[in-house]
Amino acid sequence: MTGNIGSPSPMQPLTVGNVVSAGMRLYRSHFQDYFLLALQAYLWVLVPVYGWAKFYALTSLISRLAFGELVNQPESVSSGKRFVNSRLWQFLLAMLLLFLVGIGIGIGMLIIFSILTVLSAALIGQGGQAQNPATLVLLGLIAFVIGIVSLLAVLWLLTRFYLVDLPLAVEDNIDGASAISRSWEITQGYVWRILLISFVGFLITIPIQIVVQILTRVLQSVFLPYLLEGASVYILLYVLLVLVISFGSGALVVPFYQSIKAVIYYDLRSRREGLGLKLRDREI
């Protein structure tokens, strides 16, 4: 199959199940390395700005290592760290640009719903229509449809930026700004499939989230009397335990998501650019 590497072979995408199971296998086979990297990333969250860039870089490193396994070019953790650390400020730039994009999306949604609210109030207030149930039902249906369409539009936009960290962690000649356009390019035409994969991955992690909620509730019930008394020692201990649970659960879940992202990135690049087609004859 090596002769097809440069040809636009009409290959079928990996199924949702294949992507998730491949991500799970990568996660299980490198659990210790990925978990420790994710735990380091969460500890860096406590450091403003620089620590946030380190978090983004270290979680992206997990995807880089997973991608290296997929293309049969495994890399050591130390080597991968050197690479992502060399682009640390580009990770920060990408994070800031994504933050601005998120603000823009939020402002757009606020404007849309503000206009709908004004129009609804105007329509209801005309000619005593507030007493007409049919008008209220119609307005409710219109608001529901627009709300669903708006939600899908937001999900579509966010998914186009789903792979921003992968090009920045893997490819050459990429900076924070071009990584965003690269993600937009790679995800074109596959948004809903990526969303479905992400949803399935989320369902798999639900048990961990349930355990976290249970542990948090237990801590609240145990420490509540001391918290009400304002005992500073117990408040500090409670906060530390909550951080341990939150960081620990995050370090369990994030590598799984990053492994899935690596498989998606590998699959999309394989079909778009002929990357690694020779590996298609083996089980990922």
Residues 6+ apart with CB under 8 A from 195: 155, 159
Percent of the chain with pLDDT over 70: 87
Q: Return d(Cα 162, Cα 186) in angstroms, integer.
A: 10
Residue 278's pLDDT band (boundaries 50, 70, 90)?
very low
Residue 276 is predicted with a pLDDT of 53
Could you tell me the sign of the dihedral formed by the alpha carbons of 275, 277, 279, 280, in that order? Answer: positive
> Mapping DSSP to helix (H, G, I), strand (E, B) and coil, where does residue 164 land?
coil
Q: Return d(Cα 23, Cα 205) in angstroms, integer.
A: 13
Which whole number is the average pLDDT over 73-102? Answer: 94
The pTM assigned to this predicted structure is: 0.84
Tell me the CA distances in angstroms from 47 to 38, 41, 53, 55, 163, one per residue in order: 15, 11, 10, 10, 25
Convert the pLDDT of each residue in 89-113 to its tens digit: 999 999 999 999 999 988 988 888 8
Query: Residue 229 pLDDT > 70, yes or no?
Result: yes
Q: Where are the domains of the chain?
A: 14-104+163-180+201-281
Q: Return d(Cα 85, Cα 89) in angstroms, integer.
A: 8
> Mapping DSSP to helix (H, G, I), strand (E, B) and coil, where does residue 191 land?
helix
Convert the pLDDT of each residue in 257-270 to its tens digit: 999 999 999 999 98
Helices (H), the chain: 16-29, 31-44, 50-70, 77-86, 88-125, 133-160, 165-170, 176-186, 191-229, 232-273
Convert the pLDDT of each residue in 144-182 to its tens digit: 888 888 889 999 999 999 999 999 999 988 999 999 999
Query: Residue 215 pLDDT > 60, yes or no?
Result: yes
Q: Return d(Cα 167, Cα 183) in angstroms, integer.
A: 7
Q: How many CB atoms lie within 10 A of CB 160?
A: 20
More confident residue, 16 or 279: 16
